[in-house]
Amino acid sequence: MNTLLLKIVTLPDGSDVEVSETPLEWWTKPNKSGFVRTNMLAPDPKQPRRHINSERLKELHKSIASCGVRETITVTPLSHVPWATIDSEHNDAFFLIVSGHRRWNGACLGELSAVPIRVIIYESEKDHRIDASLLNANREELSALEQGFEFARLRELKWKINELSAHFGIALPQLYGRMNLTRLHPDIQKLLDPELPRKRRLSVNVGGTLGGVKTPTLEELKDAYEILSDTAGIELAEPSEEVGNIDDDVRRFSLQKLLLTVIQQRSLSSKRAIELIREHSLRLKSANRAAGRKTERYQPRRRKRAIHGLVDGITGSVVMDWSPREFDKIFELSPREEVEEFIATLQEGEGFLGGLVKILTKIRDAKKPTHSDVLRAMREREATD
């Protein structure tokens, strides 16, 4: 080894280490470790972690400034990963960072002379990406959106869904939900930011369901605007004909934003928000219809069953059989505020049911009585369907 190529540098903790200004033999040997200049490392634009907690980053920078980088940064030689791309500002780098982007970033900000690395050699991009996923996830849990992007990337590398599920120990529904987050409009993805206040943050389950909506046709999108404008109690501008001629993502994003607007306007719980999305986001066949005929979107039979289910859930509840004395005992030790919360919830339900009765009464009054023979035939047909 030419000692002229080596320099002694001092780390923040006072220790001295040797670094080379040119590549050394061990730089391309698996599982070898040593110190290198920070400019020899390039960050991976495809690293799994996209969000970094600002407070934890400050703590890390403070620690690195006083003690240096204590844990090795996992790297791989750029010459051995032809599938990788880096930003042009790092063209002089020799290594690609696999795990340790925050430590490297802290070292750069602290102007450290050298950082410790460990070299790994990969046989394929598939091995590289799965290792990067596991190493980064093990250090600090990835956000749901970060997981989604990583799963989607591994799927592009021909990983099967069942393989991913087994490898990461994640159930299939959760896996699909995470990947659906990557299909959300970027503005909606921002609402998943873990640092947002809870009241402003979109829940992962609602986001995953929203990201799973299929691309609507222009007709389906217009129908959704018409129905949901009434549901939200606000006037929503219908999409123009031009929307029907642009790419699928724009129409899907339009439906996502529409559904999210309704969810926010009505302050829906996660459960009710998911029900709303599933109700309106299915790709339904648009029927060529005559005047006055409805598309399959309205699905009256299924919706009538939902109304029956709502009523049965109330009238069939054991609560219906409780006496006033039992209620006295149930809430005997409850504070006034807790009782008020129950009253508010029941009043909300009372208002909804009262409004529903008014709507159905208006619909009934607009119809003429049906002949008994016709009514009997209709019910017989429903029973056989």
pLDDT in tens, the chain (385 residues): 455 578 898 888 888 999 998 999 999 999 999 999 999 999 998 887 766 666 777 777 788 887 888 889 999 999 999 999 999 999 999 999 998 888 898 888 888 989 999 999 999 998 898 888 877 765 556 789 988 998 998 888 888 899 888 888 889 999 999 999 999 999 999 999 888 898 899 999 999 999 999 888 888 888 888 777 766 555 555 665 555 556 788 889 999 999 999 899 888 889 889 988 887 765 444 433 433 444 444 567 777 877 887 888 888 888 888 889 999 999 999 999 999 999 988 888 888 888 889 999 999 999 888 888 888 887 877 777 6
- For residues 242 and 318, membership in a common domain is answered with no
Considering the domain boundaries, does residue 159 fall inside one?
no
> Which has the closest alpha carbon to 43: 100, 83, 123?
100
Considering the domain boundaries, does residue 176 fall inside one?
no
Considering the domain boundaries, does residue 177 fall inside one?
no
Considering the domain boundaries, does residue 179 fall inside one?
no
Residue ending a domain, among 120, 141, 162, is: 141
How far is it, in rounded angstroms, from Cα 216 to Cα 255? Answer: 8
The domain in which residue 81 lies consists of: 3-141
- For residues 306 and 222, membership in a common domain is answered with no
Element of type H or E holding 163:
helix 161-168
How far is it, in rounded angstroms, from Cα 138 to Cα 130? Answer: 12
Q: Output the pLDDT for position 218.
A: 83
Give the C-alpha distances (Å, rounded to integers) separating 292 from 279, 289, 366. Answer: 22, 8, 16
Q: Output the pLDDT for position 284.
A: 46
Considering the domain boundaries, does residue 291 fall inside one?
no
CB atoms within 10 A of CB 79: 12
- Residue 130, burial from CB neighbour count under 10 angstroms (0-12, 13-18, 19+): buried
Q: Output the pLDDT for position 283.
A: 43
- For residues 232 and 272, membership in a common domain is answered with yes
CB atoms within 10 A of CB 116: 19
Q: Are 23 and 75 spatial neighbours (Cβ–Cβ below 8 Å)?
A: no
- For residues 272 and 320, membership in a common domain is answered with no
- For residues 303 and 275, membership in a common domain is answered with no
Mark 13-23 as b/e (b = at least 16 C-beta within 10 Å). eeeebebbeee
- For residues 110 and 210, membership in a common domain is answered with no
Q: Compute CA 224 distance to the chain's CA centroid, rounded to the nearest angstrom.
A: 23
Q: Output the pLDDT for position 290.
A: 39
- For residues 324 and 341, membership in a common domain is answered with no
- For residues 132 and 195, membership in a common domain is answered with no
Considering the domain boundaries, does residue 146 fall inside one?
no
How far is it, in rounded angstroms, from Cα 122 to Cα 116? Answer: 20
Domain total in the chain = 4
- For residues 79 and 24, membership in a common domain is answered with yes
- For residues 312 and 340, membership in a common domain is answered with no
At what angle are helices 161-168 and 172-181 packed, to 10 degrees? 100
| Exposure on the CB side of residue 137, measured as CA atoms within 13 A | 19
> Which has the closest alpha carbon to 303: 285, 270, 280?
280
Angle made by CA atoms 183, 186, 189, in degrees to the nearest 5: 75
Give the C-alpha distances (Å, rounded to integers) separating 155 from 136, 142, 163. Answer: 18, 18, 10
Q: Output the pLDDT for position 173.
A: 92
> Which has the closest alpha carbon to 46: 81, 79, 94, 80?
81
Considering the domain boundaries, does residue 97 fall inside one?
yes
- For residues 340 and 323, membership in a common domain is answered with no
- For residues 313 and 345, membership in a common domain is answered with no
Q: Output the pLDDT for position 253.
A: 92
Domain holding 33: CATH number?
A: 3.90.1530.10
Considering the domain boundaries, does residue 117 fall inside one?
yes
Q: Determine if the pTM surpasses 0.85.
A: no
